[in-house]
Amino acid sequence: MQSCGSITVYVVTISNMQSELFKYVLFTLCFKTILMNDVCEMNTNRCEPVKYRYVFYDINPPEGFNLRRDVYMRFAIFVHKLKQTNLSNFKLVLPPWIRLYHWNKQESVQIPWSHFFDLNSLKQFAPVIEMYDFFNEINVKYSKIKIDQVYILQHYKEMFDTGKFEDKMQIEKCATKPKTNFYFYNNITSDSIKCLSFHGQASHLKKVLEESNAQTILFDHAEVALHDHFGNDIYWKARRSMRFNKELKKLAADFRQKYLNSSDQADGTMLPEDWQKETGKRAAKGGPYLSVHLRRRDFALGRPNDVPSIHEAASQITKLLQQLSLRIVFIATDSTIQEYTKLEGLLSTYKVYRFLPVEPLTDGAVAVIDQIICSHAQFFVGTHESTFTFRIQEEREIMGFPEHTTFNRLCGNRCEKPSVWKIVY
């Protein structure tokens, strides 16, 4: 007799070949009868249901789009490693995007990740799901949902006071009034919210999961947790899996073709459909244009020594165009219209482009298209310590550009050489 869920099957003695066929048939039958959160796993001749559990995370609301992408990687790597442990039944619920500081339009909250990224590509690295998938899996849409356990991560104050950092965590008194926005869903709450003083890699949170029988666990202020190994092969696997939404990629490709005489075939930037089939190379040449990321606004105010004025930026861009014998420049910037118009006038002897959508797009989608176009240029120059620039540099590493065409910066009063982090396979 074999069983799966509520199904019982009686078996007579059969040959080895028939036995193997029976295993396959029983497995298929079991898989189709397990509902919602249960998964059927083959174990010799048995099929056992496994209950899924869920890790949620959220980030300090003022943090920007590209820092949020980095925090995603920390937690994607966390659950990726769980697949090889007795906690392999955890899924990572992707936090819906909220209206961010750099997004000017009054965009709706709770934007899904698939609006920006290829979800199937993300799933090839880690067991991730959208929030609406979570609602569907637990068969709840409008009822109240109580997350079993919420941990608000906070820094150890004494570590910053003494400068002595060590990996540890413990439940402590909250440094500020405990609060979480629950992604601005009115039907999500929790009766268990605690502050967890934490210093260490994201994988150290595994201890919390091991000591809990909760089905749903939320880590708020997830940016407090650090990368396990920044820049190693696992880091780059997670990063390579972050392929952009295909529709946004097509909009960027159409713009490159129309205005920049650029295509993947001509530029040597073709990638396999599956990121897992990528191999190391340095053969990309890029489109015949210079791309520039000029960060203004908060950087111009808070980092005046690192960010050039509009006149200085125009001078540096002109010099690069002359050195590279290029006549076209693409500019991604958060500057005001007045600043951009002034920059365009100072570069009037060249063809200057920026991406302006002809159809309604969210500010986040426009930022993604800007990054795609910048990453395909023959030569890229960015803004010092901007995560927007970092993400473009990573895209160029994935496509295989020579390092000297990627790790460059516009200079303010000082001009330290940018950090270089090479891709690892």
Residues that are catalytic = 63
Closest CA to 313 of 199, 205, 178, 411: 411
> DSSP class of residue 163?
-
Phi, psi of 176 (to 5 degrees): -130, 170
Helix (H, G, I), strand (E, B) or coil at 56: strand
Helix, strand or coil, per DSSP, at residue 249:
helix
Residues in contact with 193: Cβ distance below 8 Å, sequence separation at least 6, in sequence order: 150, 152, 178, 180
CA–CA dist 8, 26 (Å, integer):
10
Per DSSP, the residues of 104-118 read: -S---S-B-GGGTB-
Q: Let me know: does 400 contact 376? Beta carbons within 8 Å.
A: no
Cβ distance 63 to 298 under 8 Å?
A: no
Q: Which residues, 6 or more positions from 252, have their beta carbon under 8 angstroms from its beta carbon?
A: 355, 369, 372, 373, 376
Q: Which residue carries 């934007």 as its tokens?
A: 111
How far, in Å, CA of 324 to CA of 32, rounded? 60
Q: Are 263 and 256 in contact (CB under 8 A)?
A: yes
